[in-house]
Amino acid sequence: MEAVLTHLRTAIERGDYAIGDKLPSEAELCRTLEVSRPVLREALRALQTMGLTVSRTGRGTFVVAGAVEDPTFGDYAASDLLEVRRHVEIPVAGYAAVRRTAEDLDHLTHLLERMERETDTTSWVALDTLFHLAVARAARNPVFRRVIEEIRDALARQSAFLNELGDRREQSNREHRAIVEALTDGSEPDAVAAMSHHLDRVQTTLTDIVRPARTVPGAGA
């Protein structure tokens, strides 16, 4: 899927498909790229998330931008989502460290262990969303929990995007374990630092996907 996405994204960015152009049909792309329809559809969904294309029912997929600016996850742009996550989830982790109960810790540890065993991306993403919601619940403030519930769908979409294109799963598991360890220790500073690091890595991976490093002409290997 990543190879198909890279091929189509590169074609759009170099102008092979201009803004307003319709991409070839799924059947034609499958034949040309020699991939299955499910693989192609994953790549087409990623193009749409990146803001490069839009799918119009019964008409096909059309190019709407020549370069990636700010991916959209559900109703929210990536930059807006991350800004809110920093203002909410970092202090939430700190509150959770001093307010969590033994039951909260058991639930978070159970979720973490399931995530570390999970190999299916869809199942892992569902657990990831539950993990962040459980941290918010451990903060013992229903407003924080409601905010996370409001952006739950966007979090899941972002998580799937980062895992499919950024291979984030194992790294994210390690970051989640650091968060749980800080909550277990009851350390507010460590919990804040662990969640900050987690969101820093989310931003870095997202940036790497959206603005991949370009090869400088004439540069050495």
- pLDDT value at 216 more than 50: no
On the 0-12 / 13-18 / 19+ scale of CB atoms within 10 A, 55 is: middle
- pLDDT value at 215 more than 90: no
Note the pLDDT tens digit of each residue in 66-79.
988 889 998 999 99
Q: Answer yes or no: are the C-beta atoms of 169 and 127 closer than 8 Å.
A: no
DSSP labels for 116-156?
HH---HHHHHHHHHHHHHHHHHHTT-HHHHHHHHHTHHHHH
What the block records as the tokens of 33 is: 């790229």
Q: Answer yes or no: are the C-beta atoms of 53 and 64 closer than 8 Å.
A: yes
Please state, rounded to an integer, the average pLDDT across all residues of the chain: 91
- pLDDT value at 119 more than 70: yes
Give, in words, the CATH class of 2-63.
Answer: mainly alpha
- pLDDT value at 162 more than 50: yes
Per CATH, domain 73-210 is 3.40.50.300 = no
Note the pLDDT tens digit of each residue in 20-67.
999 999 999 999 999 999 999 989 988 988 889 999 988 999 999 998
Q: What is the pLDDT of residue 217?
A: 40
- The helix, strand and coil proportions of the chain, stated in percent and rounded to the nearest 5, come to 70, 5, 25
Domain range summary for the chain, segments of one domain joined by + = 2-63, 73-210
Q: What is the pLDDT of residue 212?
A: 65
Question: What 3-state DSSP class applies to 16?
Answer: coil
Q: What is the pLDDT of residue 218?
A: 40
Predicted structure pTM score: 0.83
